[in-house]
């Protein structure tokens, strides 16, 4: 009996193998794709390769370089992309899936919950991440790091990986904070966990780590509060034991230093209150900290307020039509809230005095970015997308352009927007550069991004895990 059963199973296995084989033969699709002729920026920072060859098998790159290094197999499907430019897919290292780009998801900034109950907004965001997946890919973004949200944002990590065409997602889940506010907590789920004891910190780290949180997010570091800092020490120890890393919102220099001292490896914002000093730069360097400047998010609030007040419509700079209809409608109808109680005369005069060109960027943030850059600290590109006035997807262009305005050379910005973002997501072994063994996540551009980072806007196609789509074919509705 035993022998007979084994024999029967063998026949089944052979039959299955044959049918798989014949299925492949019937589809007649070559398994190897070759992109040939473009100028390649591989994301490592090495010199661009002209007339490059990238060989892709299924999801993976098997060779990327010049034609001497990489020779395409005879049966490959060869795409002539000469005259174009290729970089790895972009990474936005700072986003929030629970936030919509308007005030409906930020009742603390302007409460419009009579029109949009926050609980309903949060539920919608949980159920409908696909429109943002499309907006990201359409903008060339193949990876995002959600650095603070409801616990459900952690589910997107796996869901996006299983999705046929979505960016990679890393997520930290709820933020750990001294802030007693409850504005964006729900009775059933939280975005903010108040760190009121060592045990709260330890339990939160245990829970989020078991749910595969990529980092543990600290929001504000009250370094003068010894009790609070002892709670942070306890949770930091638990995070370290679990192989998880701290990430932090710490926009004051003293807070940023305290965050690094507590073990933070990713600063998700600029230091913006004062100039960074040698001590900070040395600490960041010694602790392998990644710095994410988020230069445009603060003034994004002003632009959204100005739209809500009816001072000036919010301008959506979106030639590739990547922004979804719901977001577009929210922004285009913002002035419905022009008589909101927040629009006092003094607030209105502040909004009117704001100059979208002159006041868009903070000079302290710009000079700190250059100090961090010159000290050789790794920098990642992050937008804080989802905050009012900072839209998912397209905001990455403006953020990169602001970093260029600070003085970062565009060829270095390519590395910051790709490899360093993957490093922030702790997935640099899998993607972020175009090298043998990495996933084939890349973008094709019409214009040279090393001449001007604004040329990232000339994106024509995006490849995610070996699947290529024209950005025109990605509709974010």
Of 214 and 461, nearer to Zn ion (C-beta) is 214
Closest contact distance (angstroms) between CB of 220 and Zn ion is: 12
Helix/strand/coil for 278? helix
Would you list the DSSP string of 215-236? Answer: EEEEE---TT-HHHHHHHHHHH
Closest contact distance (angstroms) between CB of 44 and Zn ion is: 28
Of 318 and 384, nearer to Zn ion (C-beta) is 384
Closest contact distance (angstroms) between CB of 309 and Zn ion is: 24
# binding residues, Zn ion (CB under 5 A): 1
- Of 88, 90, 93, whose CA–CA distance to 385 is shortest? 93
Of 219 and 280, nearer to Zn ion (C-beta) is 219
Q: What part of residues 112-171 is at the interface with Zn ion (CB under 5 A)?
A: none
Helix/strand/coil for 104? helix
H-helix or E-strand spanning residue 464: strand 459-464
Closest contact distance (angstroms) between CB of 96 and Zn ion is: 6
Closest contact distance (angstroms) between CB of 277 and Zn ion is: 25
Cβ atoms < 10 Å from Cβ of 181: 10
365 binds Zn ion (CB under 5 A): no
Q: What part of residues 8-27 is at the interface with Zn ion (CB under 5 A)?
A: none
Of 263 and 382, nearer to Zn ion (C-beta) is 382
Given the rule CB under 5 A, which of 40-48, 50-58, 383-391, 414-422 is the region that contacts Zn ion? 383-391
Compute CA distances 75 → 67, 83, 304, whole Å.
17, 24, 53
Of 324 and 384, nearer to Zn ion (C-beta) is 384
Closest contact distance (angstroms) between CB of 268 and Zn ion is: 6
Taking CB under 5 A as the criterion, the residue among 238, 384, 399, 428 binding Zn ion is 384
Given the rule CB under 5 A, which of 106-114, 216-224, 368-376, 379-387 is the region that contacts Zn ion? 379-387
Half-sphere exposure of 6 (CA within 13 A, CB side): 3
Given the rule CB under 5 A, which of 123-131, 282-290, 378-386, 409-417 is the region that contacts Zn ion? 378-386
- Alpha-carbon distance of 391 to 328, in angstroms, equals 10
Closest contact distance (angstroms) between CB of 292 and Zn ion is: 9
Given the rule CB under 5 A, which of 36-44, 325-333, 384-392, 429-437 is the region that contacts Zn ion? 384-392
Given the rule CB under 5 A, which of 24-32, 175-183, 376-384, 402-410 is the region that contacts Zn ion? 376-384
Of 384 and 428, nearer to Zn ion (C-beta) is 384
104 binds Zn ion (CB under 5 A): no
- Of 404, 293, 399, 309, whose CA–CA distance to 354 is shortest? 309
Of 191 and 461, nearer to Zn ion (C-beta) is 191
Half-sphere exposure of 448 (CA within 13 A, CB side): 8
Closest contact distance (angstroms) between CB of 95 and Zn ion is: 8
Provide the b/e sequence for 443-468 (b: ≥16 CB within 10 Å): bbbeeebbeebebbbbbbbbbbbbeb
Of 365 and 384, nearer to Zn ion (C-beta) is 384
Check if the beta carbon of residue 460 is closer than 8 Å to that of residue 470.
yes
Compute CA distances 113 → 26, 108, 137, 438, whole Å.
56, 10, 31, 45
Given the rule CB under 5 A, which of 78-86, 137-145, 177-185, 380-388 is the region that contacts Zn ion? 380-388
First CA to last CA across the chain, in angstroms?
59
Q: Which residue number has the CB closest to Zn ion? A: 384
DSSP type of residue 250: -
- Alpha-carbon distance of 188 to 386, in angstroms, equals 22
Of 93 and 459, nearer to Zn ion (C-beta) is 93
Check if the beta carbon of residue 431 is closer than 8 Å to that of residue 143.
yes
Of 95 and 474, nearer to Zn ion (C-beta) is 95
Check if the beta carbon of residue 90 is closer than 8 Å to that of residue 398.
no
Closest contact distance (angstroms) between CB of 132 and Zn ion is: 15
92 binds Zn ion (CB under 5 A): no
Closest contact distance (angstroms) between CB of 255 and Zn ion is: 15
C-alpha 203: how far from its chain's center? 27
Closest contact distance (angstroms) between CB of 329 and Zn ion is: 24
Give residues in contact with Zn ion (CB under 5 A): 384
């Amino acid at each position: 009996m035993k022998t007979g059963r084994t024999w029967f199973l063998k026949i089944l296995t052979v039959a299955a193998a044959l049918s798989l084989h014949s299925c492949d033969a019937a589809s007649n699709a070559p398994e190897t794709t070759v992109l040939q002729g473009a100028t390649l920026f591989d994301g490592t920072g090495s010199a661009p390769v002209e007339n490059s060859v990238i060989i892709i098998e299924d999801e993976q790159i098997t060779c990327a370089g010049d034609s001497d290094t990489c020779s395409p197999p005879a049966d490959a499907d060869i795409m002539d992309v000469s005259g174009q430019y290729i970089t790895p897919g972009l990474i936005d290292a700072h986003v929030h899936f629970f936030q919509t780009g308007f005030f409906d998801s930020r009742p603390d900034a302007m409460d419009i919950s009579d029109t949009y109950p926050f609980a309903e907004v949060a539920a919608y965001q949980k159920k409908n991440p696909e429109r943002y997946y499309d907006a990201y890919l359409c903008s060339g973004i193949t990876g995002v790091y959600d650095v603070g949200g409801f616990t459900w944002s952690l589910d997107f990590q796996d869901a996006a990986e299983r999705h046929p065409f979505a960016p990679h997602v890393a997520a930290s889940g709820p933020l750990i904070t001294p802030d007693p506010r409850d504005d964006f907590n729900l009775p059933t789920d939280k975005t903010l966990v108040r760190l009121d004891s060592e045990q709260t910190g330890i339990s939160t780290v245990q829970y989020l780590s078991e749910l595969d949180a990529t980092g543990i997010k600290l929001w504000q570091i009250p370094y003068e509060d010894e009790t609070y800092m002892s709670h942070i020490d306890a949770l930091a120890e638990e995070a370290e034991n679990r192989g998880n890393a701290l990430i932090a919102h710490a926009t004051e220099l003293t807070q940023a230093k305290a965050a690094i001292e507590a073990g933070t490896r990713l600063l998700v914002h600029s230091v913006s209150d004062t100039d960074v000093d040698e001590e900070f730069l040395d600490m960041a360097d010694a602790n392998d900290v990644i710095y994410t400047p988020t230069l445009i998010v603060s003034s994004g609030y002003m632009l959204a307020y100005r739209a809500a007040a009816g001072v000036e419509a919010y301008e959506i700079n979106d030639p590739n039509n990547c922004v979804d209809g719901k977001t577009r409608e929210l922004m285009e109808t913002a002035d419905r809230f022009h008589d909101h109680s927040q629009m006092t005369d003094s607030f209105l005069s502040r909004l009117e005095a704001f100059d979208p060109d002159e006041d868009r960027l903070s000079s302290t943030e710009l000079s700190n970015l250059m100090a961090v850059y010159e000290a050789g600290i790794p920098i990642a590109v992050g937008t804080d997308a989802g905050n009012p006035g900072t839209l998912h997807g397209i905001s990455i262009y403006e953020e990169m352009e602001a970093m260029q305005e600070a003085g970062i050379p565009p060829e270095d910005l390519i590395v910051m927007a790709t490899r360093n973002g993957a490093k922030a997501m702790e997935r640099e072994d899998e993607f972020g550069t175009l090298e043998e063994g990495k996933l084939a996540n890349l973008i094709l551009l019409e214009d040279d991004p090393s001449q001007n980072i604004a040329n990232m806007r000339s994106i024509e196609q995006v490849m995610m895990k070996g699947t290529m789509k024209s950005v025109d074919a990605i509709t974010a509705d």
